[in-house]
Amino acid sequence: MKLLNPIKISYKNLLAAKFRSFLTMLGIIIGVGSVIIIMAIGQSAQELILDQVKGIGTNLIGVIPGASSDDKSPPAAAMGISITTLTYDDLEALRNPRNIPEAEDGAGYVVGSDTVSYGGLDKALSFTGTTASYINVETAEVENGRFFTKEEEANLSKVAVIGSKMALEFFGNDNPIGKTIKIKEQNFNVIGVFKDRGSSAFGMSSQDDSVFVPLKTGQKILLGINYLSYARLKVKNPDLIPSAIANVKATLRERHHIKDPSKDDFSVRDQASALETITNITDILRYFLLAIGTVSLIVGGVGIMNVMLIAVNQRVREVGLRKAVGARNPEIIAQFLIESATISSLGGIAGIILGILLSFVASVIIQALDYYWPFIISVPSIFVAFGVSVFIGIIFGIYPARKASQISPMEALRYE
């Protein structure tokens, strides 16, 4: 009964000032809603990125120029820094069964971006120069036409295979095969169109809206370089990946005359380590955004304290009367704390509902744009967000509650 009395009083006071109570809750609603949305969208985005990486294949090894400080940090080349230590001859050595018996095939890559033109349409797109083995290593399918050959690769042929999305944007319902597109003012004959692989997001390269040209054509004609951006090896069996990685490192160290492994000028990544690296990066970004979102919760807590201080000044006579008829300081403190906690908890519930609703709407819209975007709501994040909202209500209600408990009954009864 002692607990019910202050709850009833707090409930009546909240109803007596509905609009003020709502405005007080608004900061908590926005803060909690932000936390739910950030966690939901962050997890969905993480699943999208991981799904795209897994789609490349689980039996691939990536070789990237430039060393990394440890197995988890990305090498410099992965961060946009040009490293020239990986060459075509290195790729040939890695594709040699005597060096890497576990490897089924390998492909080299150079990447760039520029304006691609056709029939008056100009669009900035990424292009990839790769070997004829790409089609096998990446398990890619050409839906229309064909992929370029080793001979075309060796002869610096100006041929291109384009993604399905690009084909639709540039040619519509027309057959792109035999048409001429321009990349860096160079004419390229379209000889094939890839089968749709699905859309990509967040700046990740996608086969569907890219142009693929022979590796040496990309090196010599489009980029003017003689090194590789990276290479990939397709391993016969995922169980052979550890031994394949060891042989890759041994081969490249021998070719680059490296005796001390700490001085490697390359990095080798398998799918598992790539997934772990991406997960670590996305987790850091998610929690950073979460920290920003909690700022609005603190702002909401300050709003609760301000409103509760106003309420104390408005209810001096009420507090004084209660103390005159026997109410003790702990009961006065409990009344105001329960009132502030009620405001914050109701705001927390409303924020949770708002966050879930907006996260669901976002997932529906993004899925309609043909992205893999699962609707994920973290149950722990709901309990944490609600608990934090109640905690903030209590913390920011302590000072007004203590101030109310210190009101003298004699002075309160004379208060105008």
pLDDT digits (tens, 9 = 90+) for 1-24: 455 566 666 667 677 777 777 777
Q: Say what the pLDDT of residue 285 is.
A: 77
Cα of 380 vs its chain's centroid, Å: 20
At residue 391 the predicted structure's pLDDT band, cuts being 50, 70 and 90, is confident
- Which of 115-129, 277-291, 359-373, 394-408 is modeled with the greatest confidence? 115-129
Residue spans of the domains in the chain: they are 4-52+278-413, 84-264
- Report DSSP state, residue 222: I
Task: Give CA–CA dist 60/49, Å, rounded.
Answer: 17
Task: Give CA–CA dist 399/241, Å, rounded.
Answer: 62
More confident residue, 318 or 394: 394
- Please give the structure tokens belonging to residue 260: 């001390």
Q: Say what the pLDDT of residue 371 is.
A: 73
**Nearest C-alpha neighbor of 298 from the set 396, 400, 394, 381:** 396
Q: Say what the pLDDT of residue 77 is.
A: 46
* Residue 247 main-chain phi, psi, to 5 deg: -70, -35
**N- to C-terminal Cα separation, the chain:** 32
3-state secondary structure of 181: strand
pLDDT digits (tens, 9 = 90+) for 309-354: 777 777 777 777 777 777 777 777 777 788 788 888 888 888 889 9
pLDDT digits (tens, 9 = 90+) for 91-140: 999 999 999 999 999 999 999 989 899 988 888 888 999 999 999 888 78
Q: Residue 282 above 80 pLDDT?
A: no
Cβ–Cβ contacts within 10 Å for residue 16, how many?
A: 9
Task: Give CA–CA dist 399/308, Å, rounded.
Answer: 9
Q: What is the pTM of this model?
A: 0.59
CA-based Rg of the chain, rounded to a whole angstrom?
32
- With beta carbons less than 8 A apart as the criterion, state whether 112 and 233 touch: no
The identity of residue 2, as a single letter, is K
% the chain with pLDDT above 70: 85
Q: Say what the pLDDT of residue 414 is.
A: 62
- With beta carbons less than 8 A apart as the criterion, state whether 247 and 100 touch: yes
Task: Give CA–CA dist 29/179, Å, rounded.
Answer: 56
- With beta carbons less than 8 A apart as the criterion, state whether 78 and 268 touch: no
Task: Give CA–CA dist 412/243, Å, rounded.
Answer: 83
